[in-house]
Chain A
Amino acid sequence: MQIINVQTGIPFILNDRPVRSLSAPGTRLLDVLRQEFHLTGTKCGCKEGECGACAVLINGRLVTSCLVAVGSIAHQAVLTIEGYRKTERFAVLDEAFAEMAAVQCGFCTPGMVLATEALLSEHPHPSPEEIRQGLSGNLCRCTGYQALVQAVSTAAQKGAGLW
């Protein structure tokens, strides 16, 4: 059991920088990111782990941040869209998503982008089937997913070697 000093907060790595959260350990990581750190790229669509809009990477694994208590992630590495968008991989995704018009209202997009990152790290050359499975935890009500799947395929091709 990790002992957490309420004075010094919960230490974790946020977008490659060591930080401390002063929120109560039971606070949702989603709220910590949005309210304490003002990282509003992570969206809230349900707070019940069903929509994927709040998805972030923890140690490279895709998680819905609304279901994670900040107290449970001490010393772990959290990557949000704000950190990820500085990467070369993001640039490839950005271009592919734009080319395929895979962003409509954009609310699902940060979560989708991180889901794509998680997918491509595991399967650098995914089949359409694998893409659909990989994105199936993230809801999008606008696109019908077709453009998203094409965007991920395109990114996997254009960014070959990056993942």
Chain B
Amino acid sequence: MRGEALYVDDLVIEGLLYGRLLHSDRARARIRSIRLPKLPPEVTVVDWRDAPARNQIHIVQDDMPIFAKDEVAYVGDVILMLVGPDEQELQNLLSRIQIDYQELTPVLDPQLSQQVFFDYHYGHGQVEQAFAEADHIFSETFHTGLQEQAYLEPNGLIAIPGNRKMTVRGSMQCPYYVKTALVRALGEAADQVQVVQEVTGGGFGGKEDYPSVLACQLAVAALKTGRPVKCILNRREDMATTTKRHPSRCHYKVAVKAGQVTAMDIDVLMDSGAYTTLSPVVLQRGIIGAPGVYRIPNLRVHGQARKTNTVPNGAFRGFGAPQTFFAVEMMMSHIAAALNQEPLAFKARQLVSQGDETSTGGRYHFYVSLPDLIKRAEELSHYREKRQAYARQTAQRYRRGIGIALIYHGCGFTGNSERDFIKAVVKLKKRTDDRVEVLASNADIGQGIKTTFAKIVADQLALPLEQIIVNNPDTDKVPDSGPTVASRSLMTVGQLLAQAAARLKQVWEPGKEQVIEEHYQHPEYMIPFDMDRFAGDAYPTYSWAVSVVELELDRLTGTADILGAWGIFDVGVPIDYNIVQGQMQGGFLQGLGYACMEHLTYSPAGVPQQTSFTDYIIPTAADVPNLVTDLVNNPFSHGPYGAKGAGEMPMVGVAPAYLEALEQAMNCGRLEHVPFTAEDVLDRLSDADGHLHPDFDTWTWQSKSEAESQPADPRQRKG
């Protein structure tokens, strides 16, 4: 608030050099040769030859090079770094480097890609039989676009070499991810690797995987020059070259019998971009959520992530879920409309509830609060009355619509990762002055985890908040309590801290230094998850949300004003009400951006077309004047004070709610992709006037009685 917080770019470091990256400007090419201009003596070139151990960055796999050697796989791939004392000079020199490329045809469309990075199947029941016995079979294909995290502080780090030691400081979510990547990349060149998180200006997933990349590049440079090297990406560079949300194509085929969905056959394709980064984990979460919040007795899900010559896609709030929840919510609404039913009523009849099986044959062990959330959403938004009223509106130019979406978010890591890979450890250190320091590796990236941790520990120990110290994590001081991802920090690590504090209280001796260590225990009630078969409890529990969007469309300009927006959330019990509300509101707005304005595209040569806030538009204060978020308590017995995961969920349901509202306002058929921009609205409205069966419409509907495909009629839209 006072402008005193020091972000990485604010640090003063003795003998600092700058590093500037040379990015490929070709999407797919072999590098024949590199011609450097004459370099002044104070400038050093750093490239793949300088990598001391392996020219590879460990994320989940190791396929991304630190510096491209002889080929580049996307526009933005890093070829080399220039290091020197004057940033502007480096920038000028970079522009004079000539690269002789042998160009290859880039693959930009994942549907045309031959390279499958990940391929998963799972399901249960008798899918074929259910389709054979169905009254109706519907199918449709949905698309979601790229999305940029757009944290206000760009990615940036400093690598500081020491005596056989390498320290990296900066903006990040997961110090231990960065540390692991550095240890592997540096090998014997550094006995000791230290990673320190500085105050971080937002992350949203965009500082989960990418900092490992920049850290390796800078560490190699620091090793070569023997001096600290800093690189803060400029905004265009950050937007053009760092990880984004995976675009997706989801195909749904759904059987309905006696008004109930009896089977879903789902095919999900995610665009991984040039390297694997976190794609396997994103895809897993996406396909596990693909049947949504519904009881689906017969299910078949297939998911793939394929390589394209575009920016590697990675973590972003929601992590695969926004894509599939968008698709399933739209699919359910479209089926409801085809069957002449109000979408919410249709959906509400098939919700999962406590004790039901999950999509992967696990259990919903705890109370499913969706009916309560729906009730609250209706009270606040008057969804049903408005939905009916807007179905009857006759206005031509200004038309209104309202839409609703129901979603969950699986809290924490998918499957057994907490137990098998993360094995979180936390420590509490009581000092002789009786102040207590929290030692955990979770980073505050604006989500307020430091305050929340302090509150938990203070409460357990019955101490004033000021007596609890939470510093930014430094891997030399804090144990590995896992990364700051997957809405796990509070639920999982917070719980460990609560337990540690309870133990500390029992052995508390005033004036004495005491250390308490607590290790993660996998909840006993969980049905072990088999990652090969996607069977068992994918998550310990679920947070639930209902999102409602009401808008008024100007059919002449294609723009929609948000008349009302409501997000109703079950995050267990909020520990800090204001912090949770802030997360819900911020997430909701990112969801809205995803739905209608945040649009990223590539040229036919694979060059990103939107690389600044001038052409990549994110919501401003003026866009959603009337957002209402509300929390419904549903204590989680295994979370601290009943808390569950919160941070990611608010963004997930906004896009389908927005699109359903837009569909009603446009009144010209089904919509099937996001972002759906004002331009898309105008295109679609003019298409609908001109043609009866626009080719974007992939909808098919077979009914038993007719036993043949009914042509899609985009004009018929009920509800």
Instruction: Contact check, B618 vs A141: say whether CB atoms are below 8 A apart.
Output: yes
Instruction: Contact check, B1 vs A140: say whether CB atoms are below 8 A apart.
Output: no
Q: Which of A132-163 contact B (CB under 8 A)?
A: 132-133, 135-149
Q: Which of A77-113 contact B (CB under 8 A)?
A: 80-82, 85, 94, 97-98, 100-101, 103-110, 113
State which of B6, B448, B581, B621 has its C-beta within 8 Å of the C-beta of A131: B621
Most chain B CB within a 10 A radius of its CB, from A109, A110, A143, A144? A144
**Complex interface bits, B413-438 against A, C-beta within 8 A gives 1, otherwise 0:** 00000000000000000000000000
Instruction: Contact check, A105 vs B202: say whether CB atoms are below 8 A apart.
Output: yes
Instruction: Contact check, B621 vs A48: say whether CB atoms are below 8 A apart.
Output: no
Segment at the interface with A among B137-145, B252-260, B582-590:
B582-590
A45 at the interface (CB under 8 A from B): yes
Instruction: Contact check, A105 vs B153: say whether CB atoms are below 8 A apart.
Output: yes
Question: A139 contacts which chain B residues (CB < 8 A)?
Answer: 150, 152, 613, 618, 620
Instruction: Contact check, A141 vs B3: say whether CB atoms are below 8 A apart.
Output: no
State which of B202, B584, B586, B625 has its C-beta within 8 Å of the C-beta of A128: B625
**Complex interface bits, B589-603 against A, C-beta within 8 A gives 1, otherwise 0:** 110000000000000
Most chain A CB within a 10 A radius of its CB, from B7, B153, B579? B153
State which of A81, A106, A128 has its C-beta within 8 Å of the C-beta of B446: A106
A123 at the interface (CB under 8 A from B): no
B9 at the interface (CB under 8 A from A): yes
Distance to closest chain A CB from B666 (angstroms): 26
Distance to closest chain B CB from A109 (angstroms): 6
Given contacts A101-B579, A139-B618, A144-B582, contact A45 B627 (CB under 8 A): no
Question: B582 contacts which chain A residues (CB < 8 A)?
Answer: 101, 104, 142-144, 147
Instruction: Contact check, B589 vs A144: say whether CB atoms are below 8 A apart.
Output: yes
B325 at the interface (CB under 8 A from A): no
Distance to closest chain A CB from B563 (angstroms): 14
B468 at the interface (CB under 8 A from A): no
Question: B149 contacts which chain A residues (CB < 8 A)?
Answer: 141
Question: A45 contacts which chain B residues (CB < 8 A)?
Answer: 152-154, 235
Chain A interface, DSSP helix/strand/loop, else mixed: loop
**Complex interface bits, A18-55 against B, C-beta within 8 A gives 1, otherwise 0:** 00000000000000001000101111111110110100
CA–CA, A120 and B566, complex, Å: 29
Most chain A CB within a 10 A radius of its CB, from B9, B234, B446? B446
Instruction: Contact check, B235 vs A140: say whether CB atoms are below 8 A apart.
Output: no
Question: A110 contacts which chain B residues (CB < 8 A)?
Answer: 3
Most chain B CB within a 10 A radius of its CB, from A41, A45, A47? A45
Q: Which of B442-499 contact A (CB under 8 A)?
A: 445-448
CA–CA, A139 and B6, complex, Å: 20
Instruction: Contact check, B586 vs A104: say whether CB atoms are below 8 A apart.
Output: yes
Instruction: Contact check, B621 vs A149: say whether CB atoms are below 8 A apart.
Output: yes
Distance to closest chain B CB from A33 (angstroms): 11
Distance to closest chain B CB from A115 (angstroms): 9
Question: A109 contacts which chain B residues (CB < 8 A)?
Answer: 1, 3
Instruction: Contact check, A43 vs B153: say whether CB atoms are below 8 A apart.
Output: yes
Distance to closest chain B CB from A110 (angstroms): 4
Question: B624 contacts which chain A residues (CB < 8 A)?
Answer: 144-145
Instruction: Contact check, A40 vs B625: say whether CB atoms are below 8 A apart.
Output: no
B369 at the interface (CB under 8 A from A): no
CA–CA, A143 and B235, complex, Å: 20
Distance to closest chain A CB from B460 (angstroms): 23
With CB as the reference atom, state the residue of chain B lying closest to A128: B625
Question: A100 contacts which chain B residues (CB < 8 A)?
Answer: 578
Instruction: Contact check, A50 vs B612: say whether CB atoms are below 8 A apart.
Output: yes
Given contacts A48-B612, A144-B582, A146-B585, contact A105 B4 (CB under 8 A): no
State which of A97, A105, A133 has its C-beta within 8 Å of the C-beta of B201: A105
Q: Which of B603-638 contact A (CB under 8 A)?
A: 612-614, 618-622, 624-625, 627, 629
Distance to closest chain B CB from A143 (angstroms): 5
Instruction: Contact check, A106 vs B586: say whether CB atoms are below 8 A apart.
Output: no
State which of B1, B12, B150, B627 has its C-beta within 8 Å of the C-beta of A113: B1
Question: A82 contacts which chain B residues (CB < 8 A)?
Answer: 3
Distance to closest chain A CB from B379 (angstroms): 20
B2 at the interface (CB under 8 A from A): yes
Instruction: Contact check, A51 vs B613: say whether CB atoms are below 8 A apart.
Output: yes
B204 at the interface (CB under 8 A from A): yes
Question: A148 contacts which chain B residues (CB < 8 A)?
Answer: 621
B200 at the interface (CB under 8 A from A): yes
With CB as the reference atom, state the residue of chain B lying closest to A145: B621
B524 at the interface (CB under 8 A from A): no
Instruction: Contact check, B621 vs A105: say whether CB atoms are below 8 A apart.
Output: no
With CB as the reference atom, state the residue of chain A lying closest to B235: A46
B532 at the interface (CB under 8 A from A): no
Most chain A CB within a 10 A radius of its CB, from B3, B7, B582? B3
With CB as the reference atom, state the residue of chain A lying closest to B447: A104
Instruction: Contact check, B613 vs A105: say whether CB atoms are below 8 A apart.
Output: no
Given contacts A48-B235, A53-B152, contact A103 B613 (CB under 8 A): no
Question: B578 contacts which chain A residues (CB < 8 A)?
Answer: 100-101, 147
CA–CA, A85 and B2, complex, Å: 6
Instruction: Contact check, B202 vs A141: say whether CB atoms are below 8 A apart.
Output: yes
Q: Which of B126-154 contact A (CB under 8 A)?
A: 149-154
The 5 closest A-B pairs by CB, nearest first: A41-B3, A105-B446, A107-B201, A144-B585, A81-B3
Interface CB pairs A-B, < 8 A, 14: A45-B152, A80-B3, A85-B2, A100-B578, A101-B581, A105-B201, A105-B202, A107-B152, A133-B621, A139-B150, A141-B149, A142-B202, A142-B582, A143-B586
